[in-house]
Structure formats: structure tokens, C-alpha cells
Amino acid sequence: GIIIMIVTRIEEADKSKVKIYVDGEYAFPFYQKDIGKYRLEEGKEISQEIYDTIMEETILYRAKEKAMSLLKFSDRTEAELRGKLKSAGFPDRIVSFVLDYVCSYGYINDERYAASYVNMKMESKSRAFIRMELLHRGIKKELIDKVLSEEYEKEEEDPEIKAIRKLVLKKYSDPDAISGEAANKLLAS
């Protein structure tokens, strides 16, 4: 049998958008202009087929568009993007689909996000502060611990090399510009 649903409410959200309720439950955000295309009216029946078409062709497309525009301006964590899409009114199923999509193309990568965040902050902030900030951004604890240990390990340079670098910097403001002769003198000392 054909499943029939009823558009129970079309609620104005703002000048161009509405919220569509189907069978008494909030279903999806919609543009005013889409209502005519699908001929939606309060109290009117819609088939499962039309509902699925709306979800696949319009809602999914809009959710991907929204995700890409959010990612264009700044890197986001999976949790941040999920929150933004949910607050824009997209249904969970669509949000999950869009997250799979952006992750599969590498547009979102919590490990990469965490590593670059740690690199940016490790000179000025404590490890505990960085961990708290990453947790707050919705990155999983195990991933944070992994990235922190990897990034801090890279930093742990031989103390002797650190000391030599300090001395060289004291004597020469630009260590790359040291002449061959001067470098040999330094190595001999």
C-alpha cells in the first residue's frame, strides 16, 4: 500500500523560510519558493514518494550547501558542524548523511583540526587548557590524547641541541646566514 502523510502545518520561520510539519511532527526547513514547486498545503496529503523526493533532492542538497558554506570560512569539528546543521532545522538523518559526505571528502577531519589547534596554541597555552578547549569543541577524548602526545613529542628536542641553538641565536641573529668559516669555528669550539 501507498503510505500517505499529511502536511499538518506550514509555519513561517522568516521572510524566505518556513518549517514544514508532517503528521503533526516537525519534518524539515523549506523555502517559500519550494512550496509551490511541490504544491504543499496545510491539510493536504503527500505520498511517501514525494516526501522522499523532497528529502533527497531539496533538503539534502540544501544541507550540503549549508555545510560547505560553513566550512568555507573556517575549519570546524564534526560536532560543531552537526550543531550548526541541527540548529538550521535539518533532520538528524540528513545531518548524518551530510557529515558522512564531508568527512569522506576530507572537508572535515577532527584529527587534522586538533593537530593544527595544538600547534597553534602549544607555545602560549597549557596542555590542560588545550585539552579542555578541544573537548569543548566536541573532539573525542581518545583523539585529543593521541594528538597531544604526538604533537608534544615532536617538540621534545634534545636539550643539548636547544642549548646550542640558543647560543647561536645570541651570537648571530640569523643562523641561516652564518658563513662556512664561522660555522666551522662554532663547531670546533
pLDDT digits (tens, 9 = 90+) for 63-90: 999 999 999 988 899 999 999 999 999 9
Alpha helices in 105-189 (DSSP H): 110-121, 127-136, 141-155, 159-171, 180-188
Provide the angle, in degrees to the nearest 10, between the axes of the packed helices 127-136 and 141-155: 150
Q: Note the pLDDT tens digit of each residue in 88-134.
A: 999 999 999 999 999 999 889 999 999 999 989 988 898 899 999 99
pLDDT the model gives residue 132: 95
Taken in order 38, 2, 24, 92, the sign of the CA dihedral is negative
Which comes out higher in pLDDT, residue 168 or 121? Answer: 121
| Tally of CA atoms within 13 A in the half-sphere of 100 that contains its CB | 7
CB 89 within 8 A of CB 29: yes
Is residue 181 scored above 70 in pLDDT? no
User: Reduced to 3 states, what is the DSSP secondary structure of residue 25?
Assistant: strand
Which residues is 31 bridged to in the sheet? 17
Strand order of the β-sheet with 17-22 is: 25-31, 17-22, 4-12, 45-47
- Tell me, what's the pLDDT at 32? 87
Residues 83, 93: Cα–Cα separation, whole Å: 14
Q: At what angle do helices 127-136 and 110-121 cross, to 10 degrees?
A: 150
Output the average pLDDT for the chain: 87
**Do residues 107 and 68 touch, judged by C-beta distance below 8 A?**
yes
C-alpha cell at 152: 608534544
Alpha-carbon separation of residue 12 from 21, 30, 75, 87 (angstroms) = 11, 10, 32, 16
Does residue 6 come out as left (phi exceeding 0), alpha (psi in the -120 to 50 range) or beta?
beta
